[in-house]
Structure 1
Amino acid sequence: MTDQRSVGKWIFWTLFAGLVIGAVYWAARPEPVWVDLAPVVTGSFEVSITEEGKTRVKDRYLVSSPVAGYLHRVSLEIGDPVEPGQLLTEVEPMPAGILDARSRAEAQARVGAARSALNSARQKVAAAEAEAQFTADELVRLQSLSSKHFISEDRLQQALAAKNRAQAFLNSARFDEEVMAHELAAARTRLEVSAAQSNGGEAFDRVGVRSPVKGAVLGIVRTSEGVIQAGEPILEVGDPTALEVVVDVLSFDAVNLSEGVQVRLDGWGGSSLQAVVQRVEPVGFEDVSALGVKEQRVQVVADIVSPAEHWDTLGDGYRVDATFVLWSADKVLQVPASSVFYADEGTYVFRADDATARLVPVTVGKSNGLHTVIEEGLGEGNLVIRHPDRQLEHGDRVRYRSR
């Protein structure tokens, strides 16, 4: 009987001691750390630069007075369409210097220079026509190959963009030829005016100022009539359907851009448009940001390659958001960039396994500031800890604040 009591007491005190030790351990153990979790997902990924830009007409022509005289009032308004050779306004020549020999000699020299410029423009048109024909034939050839799946879709899109650019260069060369032709006509008119006689031998009453190209009035420099000097600007014309996009980017970002980089245009009031970098200016300039910080910026010019009917409501000087796509992929494993950190010359994340933080080494790829590509170390569906605290260690208990 005494032995049974001793065994009972021993069991009782053993259980009591275990309960006390368990209670002490439970009270002394550290509290779980509150964390935010994010899943490891597979999806599209893009590394890009987004800046605000604006549209502008590619070829702008500042129409000036061919002679000194008295300018008649310009009746046109901004946006009015004009045709090549259309009369914009008239200038009554001033008779004071009409018979001056020096003026006549200078006018003859200008006629010769304008004639040479016209010949040069015609050669450029011929070269542009050859390039446009070549790119068109190349596109037809690649389209036939694409139908048989011999080339990639990207190669076909590049050929289409090359054809569009070649056609745009051809249009620009033809505009230049028209300008040179009208400048030659203007130089001849000035020579005739300086000689104080027309082809029929009668004195000129007025000199017409005509549009050099087909397009619209983009700006009016001089609206009121009055005395005007030769070469003084009157108005500006251009083709509003031939637009390009100018974007001021930080010089830090400009070094990653080159001709041919794809650009996505948004934020202009319509659907997303596709463009391609045509030129990165070699000279930067200093600008002051909205926060008053001095920045070095570079102008980047992009051509719109989307069909014209998709952006026919865009005009000169319109605002757009330009996104330069530096790298993209359709299916890559990625995590929030805030979950990745560097320690001991390695890259790590904390993976949440059954309410426990596990320190996992990973191999990372591209990052766009919001997400980072994971090449090795994690699998789709894993949960990682965002913004891990510096006090968090491997094996710590965690409590989920959000997932």
Structure 2
Amino acid sequence: MKFKFTPTVKRILYLLAGLAIAILLALVLRPAPLLVTVAAVERDTLAVTVTEEGRTRVQSRYVVAAPVDGRLLRIDLDAGDTIDAGQLVARIDPLPLTSEVQSAQAQLQELEAQRRGVDTQRPKTEALQQAEARIRAAQAAQQQAEARIQQAEAALAQAERDRQRAETLQSEGAISQQAREDAALQATTRARELDVARREAQAAAAEVAAAQDALAILQAEQSDPDYLEDAFTAQIASLEAQLVRLADDAARTDINAPGSGAVLEIMEESARFVAAGTPLMEIGNPDALELVIDVLSTDAVQVEEGDRVWITQWGGDETLYATVSTIEPSAFTEVSALGVEEQRVNIIATLEGNGVPLGDGYRVESQIVVWQEEDVLQVPVSALLRCDSEQSDAPGWCVFVVEDGQAQQREVAIGQRNPSQAQVLDGLSEDDTVILHPTEQIESGKRVRF
């Protein structure tokens, strides 16, 4: 018996068939899920570092230089030789300096003899004593002459009185004319004697003045050679200073090591004339190394003394460690490989451990740990992208989280970060799955697969 569908049933069947075809077409034409790379949000230790190249150097480095001008004798040491503090490492021929010292000593003796000879040009003590005795004798003669003047004046006064009395008596006829003339003659004689006495007194006074002048001349001659003595004294002082310098230079022709260690480099090995200050060799202890890392000044402000340093790419597989000991206070300008001027700062770090398999001037890759914390919720930096923040006007950070096979954009708060990982402060939970390197094709609600 042939089964027949009613028109209603046929319509229903046709409707179901069309619906099935439409669903199949929708499934066939639906976009395929986008293939993405994902990573899980997890908790782990996070460290923020400043990564730069560094180089090793000896901590206590001594440059031994020529202390004086002279002929350097050949240095018998080689780079790498071990030396002790105070050991003779180089020598300058001392003969020229010794000859200069002897010549200066001879000149000094000659000047001292000339200075002593200055005293022979001064008046002797006996001459001064004779001049003083002459003054005393002249003064005594002057006093005698003045006494004779007084006697002559008294005698003249008496003779004048006798003359006047004789004239009176003669006029009265009491005496003769001859007696009056004798009295007048006596008065004239006494006047002449007074004149002679006065002349003798003047001569005595002149003798006193002459004797005093002679003494003054001798006394002046006593100090006249002082300028010669001062000149010789100045020359002697200059020569003595020169002699001290020459003697010191002569004593420094033997050059000793300032410290124990090894010879790092020989700059002047062969014998030749060198000037004072010429570097001859470098000495240091190759076992006491430190690390010099020059970083950008903007990175240096994050570094503190005591920060840990990880050393990699030094030629071995293990990681070496150091500790920041000094941050130099002054920056310097350096031109980068791209021709950009940069302000950089040297960070000095002390290597940890003994027997570090490095030498002076080795290149290493160093990472200065400026922040580190354990059990930090973190997300790969490659999952972050800039987006409009809902909490502020400034752009924020977002990630795409995979939920039920679909990408969902979510804003997150980021804390510390390094080149690979970032600290998550808010917006994600542990074990959330985020899309790495999101492209413009990824949107919220987009189906993804991984």
Shared fold (TM-score, shorter chain, > 0.5): yes
State the SS of the aligned residue for 1:12.
Answer: helix
Instruction: State the Cα distance separating 1:250 from its structure 2 match.
Output: 2.0
Instruction: State the Cα distance separating 1:10 from its structure 2 match.
Output: 2.9
Q: Is the 8 A contact 1:97 1:103 kept in 2?
A: no
Q: Identify if the C-alpha distance between structure 1 residues 260 and 107 changes in structure 2 by more than 3 Å, giving closer, same or farther.
A: farther
User: Residue by residue, what CA displacement relative to the aligned partner does 1:242-284 show, whole Å, maximum 9, x if unpaired?
Assistant: 2211112122322211222221223323543322222222333
Q: Identify if the C-alpha distance between structure 1 residues 52 and 103 changes in structure 2 by more than 3 Å, giving closer, same or farther.
A: farther
Q: Identify if the C-alpha distance between structure 1 residues 222 and 251 changes in structure 2 by more than 3 Å, giving closer, same or farther.
A: same
State the SS of the aligned residue for 1:16.
Answer: helix
Runs of 4+ aligned residues of structure 1 deviating over 6 Å after TM superposition are: none
Query: What is the distance in 2 between the residues matched to 1:396 and 1:314?
Result: 54
Query: What is the distance in 2 between the residues matched to 1:83 and 1:387?
Result: 61
Query: What is the distance in 2 between the residues matched to 1:234 and 1:103?
Result: 31
Residue ranges of structure 2 left out of the alignment (5+ in a row): 105-236, 390-395
> What amino acid sits opposite 1:240 in the alignment?
P
Matched, 1:397 2:447: yes
Aligned pair partner of 2:369 in 300, 325, 334: 325
**Aligned residue in 2 for 1:384:** 434
**Aligned residue in 2 for 1:342:** 386
**Aligned residue in 2 for 1:35:** 36
Aligned pair partner of 2:307 in 261, 265, 271: 261
State the SS of the aligned residue for 1:92.
Answer: coil
Query: What is the distance in 2 between the residues matched to 1:374 and 1:16?
Result: 53
> What amino acid sits opposite 1:105 in the alignment?
A
Query: What is the distance in 1 between the residues matched to 2:247 and 2:330?
Result: 41
Matched, 1:273 2:320: yes
Instruction: State the Cα distance separating 1:353 from its structure 2 match.
Output: 2.3
User: Residue by residue, what CA displacement relative to the aligned partner does 1:12-56 show, whole Å, maximum 9, x if unpaired?
Assistant: 132133124324433443332221111222222111112111111
Structure with max Cα Rg? 2
**Aligned residue in 1 for 2:63:** 62
Aligned pair partner of 1:302 in 349, 371, 389: 349
Aligned pair partner of 2:241 in 98, 102, 105: 105
Aligned pair partner of 1:207 in 235, 250, 253: 253
Listed as ranges, the matches of 1:231-270 within 5 Å are 231-270=277-316
> What amino acid sits opposite 1:9 in the alignment?
K
Considering only aligned residues, what root-mean-square deviation do their CA atoms show, in Å?
A: 2.8
Query: What is the distance in 1 between the residues matched to 2:327 and 2:74?
Result: 41
Query: What is the distance in 1 between the residues matched to 2:42 and 2:249?
Result: 77
Query: What is the distance in 1 between the residues matched to 2:325 and 2:277?
Result: 32
Q: Is the 8 A contact 1:104 1:191 kept in 2?
A: no
User: Residue by residue, what CA displacement relative to the aligned partner does 1:264-306 show, whole Å, maximum 9, x if unpaired?
Assistant: 22332354332222222233333344455443322111122x2
> What amino acid sits opposite 2:425 in the alignment?
E
State the SS of the aligned residue for 1:62.
Answer: strand
**Aligned residue in 1 for 2:117:** none
State the SS of the aligned residue for 2:277.
Answer: coil
State the SS of the aligned residue for 1:22.
Answer: helix
**Aligned residue in 1 for 2:334:** 287
Q: Identify if the C-alpha distance between structure 1 residues 89 and 329 changes in structure 2 by more than 3 Å, giving closer, same or farther.
A: same
Query: What is the distance in 1 between the residues matched to 2:239 and 2:38?
Result: 82
User: Residue by residue, what CA displacement relative to the aligned partner does 1:178-204 show, whole Å, maximum 9, x if unpaired?
Assistant: xxxxxxxxxxxx63566xxxxxxxxx8
Query: What is the distance in 2 between the residues matched to 1:107 and 1:276?
Result: 51
Instruction: State the Cα distance separating 1:8 from its structure 2 match.
Output: 0.3
- Aligned-residue identity in percent: 39
Q: Is the 8 A contact 2:378 2:423 kept in 1?
A: yes
State the SS of the aligned residue for 2:429.
Answer: coil
> What amino acid sits opposite 2:83 in the alignment?
V
Instruction: State the Cα distance separating 1:374 from its structure 2 match.
Output: 2.0
Query: What is the distance in 2 between the residues matched to 1:31 and 1:328?
Result: 43
**Aligned residue in 2 for 1:78:** 79
**Aligned residue in 2 for 1:155:** none
Higher share in strand: 1
User: Residue by residue, what CA displacement relative to the aligned partner does 1:73-111 show, whole Å, maximum 9, x if unpaired?
Assistant: 001011111111111122113246434575852675x8x
User: Residue by residue, what CA displacement relative to the aligned partner does 1:299-349 show, whole Å, maximum 9, x if unpaired?
Assistant: 111122x2223x1x3221122221100111222222211112231224321
Query: What is the distance in 2 between the residues matched to 1:379 and 1:355?
Result: 18
Query: What is the distance in 1 between the residues matched to 2:249 and 2:448?
Result: 91
Query: What is the distance in 2 between the residues matched to 1:348 and 1:395?
Result: 15
Q: Is the 8 A contact 2:266 2:280 kept in 1?
A: yes
Instruction: State the Cα distance separating 1:232 from its structure 2 match.
Output: 2.6
Query: What is the distance in 2 between the residues matched to 1:51 and 1:106?
Result: 53
State the SS of the aligned residue for 2:430.
Answer: coil
Q: Is the 8 A contact 1:356 1:396 kept in 2?
A: yes
Q: Is the 8 A contact 1:45 1:332 kept in 2?
A: yes
Query: What is the distance in 1 between the residues matched to 2:401 and 2:419?
Result: 20
> What amino acid sits opposite 2:247 in the alignment?
L
Instruction: State the Cα distance separating 1:222 from its structure 2 match.
Output: 1.1
User: Residue by residue, what CA displacement relative to the aligned partner does 1:104-150 show, whole Å, maximum 9, x if unpaired?
Assistant: 52675x8xxxxxxxxxxxxxxxxxxxxxxxxxxxxxxxxxxxxxxxx
TM-score under structure 1 normalisation?
0.68
Q: Identify if the C-alpha distance between structure 1 residues 264 and 13 changes in structure 2 by more than 3 Å, giving closer, same or farther.
A: same
Residue ranges of structure 1 left out of the alignment (5+ in a row): 111-189, 195-203
**Aligned residue in 2 for 1:141:** none
State the SS of the aligned residue for 2:331.
Answer: strand
Q: Identify if the C-alpha distance between structure 1 residues 264 and 8 changes in structure 2 by more than 3 Å, giving closer, same or farther.
A: same
**Aligned residue in 1 for 2:118:** none
State the SS of the aligned residue for 1:283.
Answer: coil
